[in-house]
Structure 1
Amino acid sequence: MKNYKYLYISIISIFSLSSYSQNGKISSGDKKYDNYAYVDAIKTYERIAEKGYKSEDLFKKLANSYYFNSNFENASKWYKELFDMNTAIETEYYYRYAQSLKSTGETVKANHMMDLFNERSKNDLRAKLYEKDKNYLEEIKANSGRYKIADAGINSKYSDYGTFIHGNTVYFASARDTGNFSQRKHTWTGEHFTNLYQATLDEDFNLSAPKVFKSKINSKFHESTPVFTKDGKTVYFTRNNYNNGKKGKNNEKVTLLKIYQATFENGEWTNITELPFNSDNYSTAHPALSADEKTMYFASDMPGTYGQSDIYKVSIDNGKFGKPVNLGPVINTEGKETFPYVTSNNEIYFASDGHPGLGGLDIFVGKLDEDGVSNIQNLGSDINSPQDDFAYVIDVNSRKGFFSSNKTGGKGSDDIYKFEETKSIVCVQELNGIVTSLATKEILPYAKLSLYDANHMLVSTSISDSNGNYGFAVDCGKGYIIRAEKEKYVTKEEMVSVLKESGKTYLPIALENSECQVAIGDDLGKCFGITNIYFDLDKSNIRQEAALDLEKILDVLNQYPSMKLDIRSHTDSRASYKYNESLSDRRAKSTVEWLIKNGVAPNRLTGKGYGESQLVNKCSDGVKCSEEEHQMNRRSEFIITEL
């Protein structure tokens, strides 16, 4: 598209912080059945902590278990231990600690924690969810695939652009040669000056053969982008600075653009006058009206413009115009913003080369509100191209409309395309997932799910279905906290960042048993999510992290004096068979020795290393596997042999 259609006629161109908390109902006591034992995980955690073991995960689980059960005194105790570790703690824990302190009367300290929470929450992930930080090409891709597009059927080998729908008639600008001897060619473009044309629109959005709009509105200079009032009695349009046979120029002798109006009287368009905010020294162009016709939007490079051209608005009151107001830096950039179009849904469509796009002018949409414009999005690659795409108009009921482009494959320098929007750009998101057991991976039906916003205000509640599935309708690009609760399981909270494009955000939730049901032959380690006792590379000495997990096993053995365990250590296949067998055997025996040293009778324990002899997947020697697949084979098992 040539620059004269922007604003000028002359040869001068212008125009998952992922955190969690857990909660478990405190068991009323030990429960035994003929062949089962129930392990109270929270009590085990507390006994381990009382021994002096310090772990961020341990303190979070303890504090949260009391917090969710409104035992704020004990919650404060363990939150204090958590903060005393001086670790990088998620923002939500400042809030919980403050609430616990308030409930126990420590108001001064509680207010201090709230100050820290408010300070931190401005910069954490939830606050950042309101920032547009996604790569723009991803947004364009997400917004694509929403249109059916075709040639409008009225194009010529010359420039055709800038449609407006009024009733069953479409008006547009064209540089086509109609044989009129008064038509003159623009020396810059080699094409005729544009005049207004019209075509009849049928119910299927097909257009009849176009004909010139016969009125005094068309002159020997450019006319374009008309907009009619609903009653059809007034039209606003763009024209070069020319009226009543007089051509105006700026201080540099350049003829710019102005917005004019005309009224329909006695069967013809008359009273052609320029609008009062026009000037010989800057351009105004491409008017658009709000649904109530009390506001006009237009493009201009008047003083106060941020870039080459900006979008402005001006009030209309009984035919009188107010002072133009720039729509601000959210929509306007240092580049060109032009061709506005406003719908009854308070959407504003516009063309810009300043916002990230595919090249040239792209078409964007934003939301008009009291504060200006928000939620600006690129319409996607169906509409936009590496060339100029502009002058978008849409019927909000049928979601059909027209836009103009000089993209490749057209008939002329600019062409008019018709479209049907098959999918709204308004972002619709569903937050969904499945609730399972952390230890066994089995689905957990009928769990209670509570959805909170970023400020921890309850939004909605739900129950997982018989297959463990849940779902919430949520706002795109926002942060939420989801809490899952089920009897005999530790309550868990997850913070999630909802995606910024329409679709689904998947968040599976695995709950830890608060009471773990075990039988002979079961792996006791699964009660606590212990999949591996970690040792230093090629060594078999017990590390601090390993001791923390072994304390959990020790606590259960102390609760059940008749319980016996067979401790099995396994490796992956990435060393020699003999080496893996020897290493795993040493590790199994080190584990047994640690438990014996801490008071377990030797006759209750057996241990053996199996090396790579019992792989759980295909990852044997010579088979290419991922690190995750190899990890599945590196495991520790605590098999119950007697109860």
Structure 2
Amino acid sequence: MGFLVSTMKTQLFVLLLFVVSFATVNGQYTQEEMQRILSKSSPGELLRENSQLLLVANYYQSIQVIDRLLEMEPDNANYNYRKGYALLFSQSQYEQALPYLEKAVKNVKKLYDASSEKETAAPVDVYYYLGKCYHQNETLDKATEFYQKYLESSTSKNALYPWAELGITQVENAQKELKNPKNYELKNLGAVINTEAPEFSPVVSLDGSALFFTARRLWKNGLNKDMKDLNTNHYWEDIYVSYKNLNNTWSDPALLEFCQSGQNEATVSVSMDERKIYVYNDVSGNGDIYFSEFKGNQFQQIQAADIKKLNSKFWEPHLTVTPDGQTMLFVSDRAGGYGGRDIYRMVKLPDGNWSEPVNLGPEVNSEFDEDAPFLAMDNKTLYFASNGTKSMGGFDIFMSVQDENGNWSPAINMGVPLNSTGDDIFYTTTMDGTTGYLTSFRNGGFGEKDIYEVKNNETGKQGISVLKGEIVVAGNRPLPQDLSVTVSCLNCGNKTSVTLYPRVRDGVYFSRLEKCREYELVYAYGENETEFYKEKITTKCDTEFEEIHSRALLRLDDMTIIPFMKYHLKGNISDFADQTPVGKATVEFLSVDGELLEKHSTSSEGLFTSALLDSSFFGDPIHFMVKVSKDGYLTQQFEVNETLGEKAVIDLAYLIDKPDVGKELSKVLKLNPIYFDLDKSTIRQDAKVELDKIVQIMNDNPSVRIELGSHTDCRGSANYNLALSERRAKASADYIRKKISDPSRISGKGYGESKLVNNCPCEDEVVSECSEEEHQANRRTEFRIIE
């Protein structure tokens, strides 16, 4: 979307001020053509090529050309200026541009001749661009110094003059804001989401479970490897989605189906039900709003939004629709605004059409650029980005609140650390307003633009009521896409109602509710919207944030809602040898990370109960460990990993054994056979899983000593089999030794074929008639307690 350089869309590189006297090229070269130009062109020809490439915004190849000239004259201020300029405009690489511009300002000339190959000075514009680099690097005194130098060396007629004045104002804002940081917690989303390439324009789902965003990266299948934007040498913009895992981390992002390798598609906004995604696309005009609908379990090809007065011959880079679908905010640089890009509003009319666009006015829009509006769940708190006189530098996130008369409050800069002296834009939040996501280009990131998470402790939770409904289909069957829920207010003056469609991926839906009101939820399906279930809910009359949960379990066979069951967890502990109950055993419930969740003691009948599942629901995954210990018994751990279904009682039954000398643990621990590759003693991945069970029991029972015995079948010579089994026993024991505190507690011994468990001899001339399964029984690993 190019928002970083678009903030200076009216700026013109000084090269545009003269008429190019040589043939116009198409603006890009193949790699072979570029190598020929670099190797065979004279300095004058290279300079003309650089000028032409800059004119068509081919910054990447212009840098290749200027690098060749810098090899010849590294101190040439003209060349250094051009390199710094291209770096700044190609990828906003202010840190890389800085040393070149610092060298260029050592030789500045007002009557700079961009067309002359003899020109060795830099134009006065270099003062502005150097100030911009210092500004973004938070070297604020130097930023002011060079902004001022530009103003002193230039006139108000120059295109950069108002931007230099703005820069000085923004530096003053930054100095004030940096001294008074706000109560935000800012976190880079890390390497799963962010890369060295740009990631931007995040749109978070209302419950924070999904993140849609734009990235310029190589596809996993590599099909876009030859498709790059020569302006930046980045891949074209594509849209990805990542979902939050159970451990609160983001999943590997998935590319959306409609993305094409040779054009820009950027996230703009996503409908509340995630069935429509609005996309910025620049295949026509200056760039317009498109959309894609989710049908047949995938997003369809994008098409231009058919909303009257939305797209125009001007630039429309952004749009957002409120969760209730009744208000649309969009951005345009069309004529009649306050200057640059402005934010406009349209509302849904009774006939289903959209109203005429209305500019949000001077409290929001300025003579500079505003972009990326997002209206919070309360339908009155507006977050947007502005690069105006209240910003700290580039775009900052601002907030304005609409009153009951439709007027917007003066926009407030949301401050540090949410904002920085670089571009901060595309802020969206979850439904309670406390968690937001934004794009920022600041020090310490992974690449040019990164996505950050913001914990907003400054403004607090919004004082609204929100319904979060969920429809779970019994048997984990897919949710019907034609199922709807109509939410109607029963005691509101205008009897409002809204029809919602659950998210296909998880059956979740949302609705903003009025305080102190009663609502009816009506479930329906099919083209005729056949009603099959109703439910009533009531909101509180306070001013606090309220989240109402409604969960419905749907049985598809007869389209009926069945009650959610209450889950109970109980169990019993018995002796492994004689199955008798084990009383007064300690039962500990642990997370998979080892955190203690609950602790119980069994009754004299070996029974225990737990409240661990009291707040769990149908379809919830449960994953924890059960640790059982008692004097005179081996302490053992058992894994519980399943998804809650139609069985209300989860009954755990465990057998624990005594640590008698000579006890063979493979059966006690239900170990799978430990396999080795032919004639190998290297521990395989499947064997590690079984050996880790021995590690666990040795760590839980620090006084137990174990002998690991490795056996072979009869095939092969006795000496060979003995040597092979000894190597395997040693490798297995060594694996365990590395994971226990006292390595001497485990020993390994190879027995070869000396202890067959069945009558399968094949020594000398004896030919065994045993099956492969019988031979496998002899190729075993045993773990015997020796102390």
TM-score band, normalised by shorter chain: 0.3 to 0.5
Query: Bigger relative contact order, structure 1 or 2, given CA contacts below 8 A and separation 6+?
Result: 1
With the length of structure 1 as denominator, give the TM-score of the two structures: 0.42
With the length of structure 2 as denominator, give the TM-score of the two structures: 0.35
